[in-house]
C-alpha cells in the first residue's frame, strides 16, 4: 500500500493540477479573468488540491480538486465558452497522458533496467493511466462533472435547465453510479480503449 501511494501521489498531483489549470487558462482566453484574480491560474499544485478530495483519490480512487472559479457571464461567447472551458480539463489530461506515454516509450527504448529506472518507469506509467482515468471520469454527463456542462449547453434550453437541476441530487447520483460501475466497470473499459489508442500512437514512433 505504501508503494502504491508513492507511485500514485505524484501522478494525482500532476493530473489534478493540469486539469484545473486548463479550465482557468481557457476561461481566461475566453474573456473571464476570475481564475486569474483568484490565484488559480497557476501550475502550483497547492493552489488546486483539496486535502479531503486528494485523500479520497489516494485511498478509494475517487475524489476531487478545488474547482476553478468561472464566471460564464464574462465570456465573449457564453455557450462556446462554457463548452470549451469544460472540455479543457479532460483534454489537458489526455495530452498529459500522451506526453508521458511517449516518455515511457523512450525509457523502454533507451534506458537500462535497474531499481531506479524501474521505479521511475512505474511512476511515469501511473501518471499516464491516472490522467486517462481522470479524463474519462470527468466526461461523464453527471452534474457537476465537465461532461454534464457540455451536454447542458448542447441540449435545448428547457432540457438544459433540468440538467442543471439534477446537480442538487449529485451525491445520490454519484453513489448509484459508483455502485453500478462496481458491477459493470464501463469506466475501466473506456479508459482501456483510450490507453490502447495512446499506445497505438506511441507505437508509430517507437
Question: Residues 17, 48: contact at Cβ < 8 Å?
Answer: yes
Q: Which residues, including other chains, have CB under 8 Å from residue 178's CB and lie 6 or more apart?
A: 62
C-alpha cell at 145: 462533472
Give ∠ CA 50-53-55 in degrees, rounded to 5.
105
3-state secondary structure of 74: helix
C-alpha cell at 30: 475566453
20 is catalytic: yes
Q: Which of 193, 71, 86 is nearest to 147 (CA)?
A: 86
Q: Exactly one of 20, 153, 165, 167 is catalytic; which is it?
A: 20
| Alpha-carbon 166 to chain mean position | 22
CA 138/CA 91 separation, integer angstroms: 10
* Residue indicated by cell numbers 500514485: 8
Active site members: 20
Amino acid at each position: 500500500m505504501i508503494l502504491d501511494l508513492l507511485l500514485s501521489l505524484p501522478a494525482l498531483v500532476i493530473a489534478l493540477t493540469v486539469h484545473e489549470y486548463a479550465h482557468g487558462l481557457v476561461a481566461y482566453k475566453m474573456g473571464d479573468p476570475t481564475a486569474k484574480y483568484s490565484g488559480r491560474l497557476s501550475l502550483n499544485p497547492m493552489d488546486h488540491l483539496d486535502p479531503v478530495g486528494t485523500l479520497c483519490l489516494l485511498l478509494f480512487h475517487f475524489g476531487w480538486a478545488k474547482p476553478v472559479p468561472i464566471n460564464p457571464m464574462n465570456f465573449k461567447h457564453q455557450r462556446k465558452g462554457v463548452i470549451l472551458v469544460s472540455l479543457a480539463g479532460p483534454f489537458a489530461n489526455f495530452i498529459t497522458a500522451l506526453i508521458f506515454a511517449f516518455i515511457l516509450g523512450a525509457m523502454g527504448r533507451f534506458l537500462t533496467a535497474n531499481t531506479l529506472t524501474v521505479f521511475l518507469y512505474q511512476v511515469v506509467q501511473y501518471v499516464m493511466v491516472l490522467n486517462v482515468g481522470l479524463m474519462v471520469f470527468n466526461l461523464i454527463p453527471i452534474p457537476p462533472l465537465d461532461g454534464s456542462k457540455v451536454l447542458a449547453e448542447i441540449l435545448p434550453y428547457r432540457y438544459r435547465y433540468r440538467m442543471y437541476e439534477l446537480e442538487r441530487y449529485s451525491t445520490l447520483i454519484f453513489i448509484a453510479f459508483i455502485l453500478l460501475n462496481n458491477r459493470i466497470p464501463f469506466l475501466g473499459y473506456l479508459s482501456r480503449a483510450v490507453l490502447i489508442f495512446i499506445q497505438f500512437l506511441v507505437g508509430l514512433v517507437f
